[in-house]
A and B are shown apart, each in its own frame.
Chain A
Amino acid sequence: MTAPLLEVEDLDVHFPVFRGPLRRRAGTVRAVDGVSLRVMPGETLALVGESGCGKSTLGRAVLRLQEPSGGQVRFEGQDLLHLGKRDLKAARRRMRMVFQDPHASLNPRLRAAEIIGEAFTIHGCTRAERDAGVAELLTLVGLGPDFAQRFPHEFSGGQRQRLGIARALALHPSFVVCDEPVSALDVSVQAQIVNLLMELQERLGLSYLFISHDLHLVEFIADRVAVMYLGRIVETAPAAALFAGPLHPYTRALLAASPSIDPDRRAADAVIEGELPSPLNPPSGCAFHPRCPHATDQCRAEMPPLAALATGHDVRCWHAADWMAAAPARAEALG
């Protein structure tokens, strides 16, 4: 068995909340709370959840773009949170990020060659190396070297995201955090970018942490899936197992709410009540209990642990074993 490329152990990202004229600390938002996960070489781990669940913060914390408040991140055997500036810079060559909004994440005053070439310059490559690298990357993402001298506004949305991917791939990373990389794009363009990401993964052996709210896309692209709710992972499993037999009531609710393309399978009955609670004032016990149709007194009082129910299938629910024993409530795959 190979060693994991990325190992996250008990990671916390807490934001203090200040109030009042003296900016007194009024509380803490536990945006990410005790999250553990691992990504194997060449694997895609998808992180799903609704907005505000902490998935983007987690993605940033893994790259130390957001300083974690506690826990451990090991990347290629190095303890990332205790690296000095120089070593962190070296590690960052190997772990990059693709952002959601290709419009906002590209400097409008720089040409494509400068945007992609920046990484080469920062890491001390020569001009010739840089130019060769830029041309190669532009070809790799399907744009071609002709695009090198253009500015971001001369690109369409899909082309801009290709540019964003090319920037991330400079200097041969092994790991890329993709934060909702296609959700700002049109459907037909989404498919192009998803295909590009998958093709690049196969050619370059990349690992992805793929952050998305689109379960259908995740089912298609991911090897494993982690579902987050209010800063914690509530279920993690291989993609096939998760979509065939989701165990956590929240995962089931998400799948049920995710509309089917079959007009005869309308989801109106499967609607769950309520909204995401305030992360500043999370519910007692299991964070999902106020919206959970099966909540018991135990759920209201105590936070369940993330427990393994099958190989690689962990669930944070007191009643997970019952769901496991009952026939999978939703055997049919999403349509």
Chain B
Amino acid sequence: MNAMIDPADVRSASVLEVSGLETRFGAVRAVDGVSFAVARGETLCIVGESGSGKSATALSVMGLIPSGSGRVAAGSIRLAGHGELRGLSDAAMAEIRGRAIGMVFQEPMTSLNPVFRVGTQIAEVMRRHEDISRSAARDRAVDLLRMVGIPSPESRAQDYPHQLSGGMRQRVMIAMAIACDPMLILADEPTTALDVTIQAQILALIDALKHRLGSGIVFITHDLRVVAQIAQQVCVMYAGVVVERAPVRALLRDPLHPYTVGLMASVPGTAPRSGLRRLPAIPGTVPNLAALPKGCRFRNRCPRAFALCAEAEPPLAVPANGDPEREVRCWLYVEGAAA
């Protein structure tokens, strides 16, 4: 385990820096120029709906885009102490996966191998990356299970995945992800498949582990409420690009991009109750990523679109006269652009 880390030290350096990332599946531009950075001990939430490119971003960082169907076409992925990950060989990437970057998946029911005991699966990750004996790995697997809050970890380590509940399996997945003290944890919708009481337990666990291990966390979700619970920094993605980036309080208190505004409003219980029992919905659907329209990707659903939005895609930039800590991809916040 890492020693105690002074939060002041870790904020400075980024664990992961992604810039200009482009990932394509044939003609589909799933990720179309995404940049973000995560510091040690920081949780960055990537929020978006299906088709926003958030999961493809995570798989690109892991080097797990299936080579038959897609590829990382451009951009840079830099991991602290490892340099540029893009272009690394499969073997070199496999060394990093599971050791420097741990990943937690959405479906705890299907993300563990059904034919191996959970303790064995955790031990296998350690034996892959560290020079450690079989019995030592087994003991540490039990320690990890205890650390992620699994009761009677000695006997649970002997269980097969089907003998555990969804919440317990997700704890096992987390134990696997942190087995080698990774500097970065990628969590792709880790609580979406869980019930609220279990979700609360898992969110609390992830937050506690972040403080204990000092890792950076990239937490992917579609749920703004989960963002409010766990994030420090937030990237909102839409149709393959980041449309807004801000510290969590700023984003949720004062969303700038019309998509973020619409997304927040459509969450029940956020907008002030009016006499008319309707949720403020965003009309329309996500554009086809294989044939993106010219200009802003959101303009056909945007209540505030104007002529310029159809002509050119806005840059992701600090809003005019705004908070320098945030960025937004919208012509409304570019000085002199708005009509």
Contacts and interface: CB of A to CB of B under 8 A. Distances in A.
Interface of A: 50-51, 156-159, 186-192, 194-195, 198-199, 213-217, 219-221, 253-254, 256-268, 270-272, 275-276, 333-335
Given A262-B228, A266-B229, 5 more contacts: A50-B197, A216-B268, A261-B228, A266-B228, A334-B269
A198 B266 contact: no
- Would you list the 10 A-B pairs with minimal beta carbon distance, nearest first? A191-B281, A191-B266, A257-B200, A186-B49, A50-B195, A191-B279, A259-B225, A188-B282, A220-B268, A216-B269
Interface string B221-246: 01111101101000000000000000
A213 to B, nearest CB: 7
Interface of B: 49-50, 165, 167-168, 195-201, 203-204, 207, 222-226, 228-229, 231, 248-249, 252, 262-264, 266-270, 277-283, 285
A118 B263 CA distance: 36
B197 A220 contact: no
20 contacts: A159-B285, A187-B266, A188-B266, A188-B281, A189-B281, A191-B281, A199-B278, A213-B196, A215-B196, A217-B268, A220-B277, A254-B197, A257-B197, A259-B226, A261-B264, A261-B270, A263-B231, A268-B204, A270-B200, A333-B269
Contacts of A275: 165, 167-168, 197-198
Nearest to B225: A259
Contacts of B203: 259, 267-268
Contacts, number: 132
A51 B207 CA distance: 25
Nearest to A335: B269
Contacts of B167: 275
Given A219-B268, A259-B228, A272 B252 contact: no
A235 B199 CA distance: 22
A248 to B, nearest CB: 14
A198 B279 CA distance: 10
Contacts of A51: 195
Contacts of A217: 268
A258 B191 CA distance: 12
Given A156-B285, A263-B248, A187 B222 contact: yes
Contacts of B268: 191, 194, 214, 216-217, 219-221
Nearest to A270: B200
A39 B279 CA distance: 24
Contacts of B252: 261-263
A333 B197 CA distance: 18
B283 A192 contact: yes
Nearest to A259: B225
Contacts of B204: 268, 271
Indicate the member of A259, A276, A335 with the most B CB atoms within 10 Å: A259
A213 B278 CA distance: 20
A260 B268 CA distance: 11
A254 B199 CA distance: 11
Contacts of A190: 266
